[in-house]
Amino acid sequence: MLAFVIRRLMQALIVMLTVAFIAFMLFQYVGDPVTNLMGQDATAEQRAQLRAELGLDQPFIVQFAHFIGNAVQGEFGISLRQGRKVSALIAERFPATLELAAVAAVIGLALGVPLACMPRCAAANSCRSW
C-alpha cells in the first residue's frame, strides 16, 4: 500500500512539473512582460534594467528552475496584469474562494444526499419511512 501511494505521488509530481513546464514555455511567447509592466514609453535602459531584475535576460532553463524553486516556496512572482505579487493577490482573494467552496459543498450535500436516496425510496416504494 505504501509503495502504491509513493508511486502515485511520484506520478503526480511528474504531471505537475510537465504542466508547469508547458505553461511556462507557452507564456514565453505571449508577449514581452517588460512592455506590459512599463508601457511603450520606457527607455531601452529601463527595459534592460527591469529585464535583469526579473531574470528575463537568463536562458529559458534557468528561468524555469528559478520559477520552480520559488513556486515550491510559495512565491509565484509578479502579476503581469496588475504589477503586484501573485502571492498577495492569492491571499487577498482566498477568503472569498473558501466561502464559495464551502457554499458549493453545502449545496452539493443538500441536493446530493436526498437525490441519492430517491432510487432506494422508489424501489422500496416506502418513501414515508424517511
Residue 14 contacts residue 61 (beta carbons within 8 Å): no
Under the banding of pLDDT at 50, 70 and 90, the label for residue 29 is confident
Q: Which of 60, 32, 59, 34 is nearest to 45 (CA)?
A: 34
**Cell triple for residue 8?**
502515485
Q: Give pLDDT, residue 103.
A: 98
Quick: pLDDT tens for 16-25. 999 999 988 8
Domain boundaries, the chain: 1-83, 85-130
pTM for the predicted model, two decimal places: 0.64
Quick: pLDDT tens for 46-89. 888 988 888 888 999 999 999 899 888 988 887 877 878 998 99
Range of weakest confidence among 4-18, 31-45, 102-116: 31-45
3-state secondary structure of 85: strand
Q: Give pLDDT, residue 128.
A: 58
User: d(Cα 37, Cα 91) in Å, to the nearest integer?
Assistant: 22
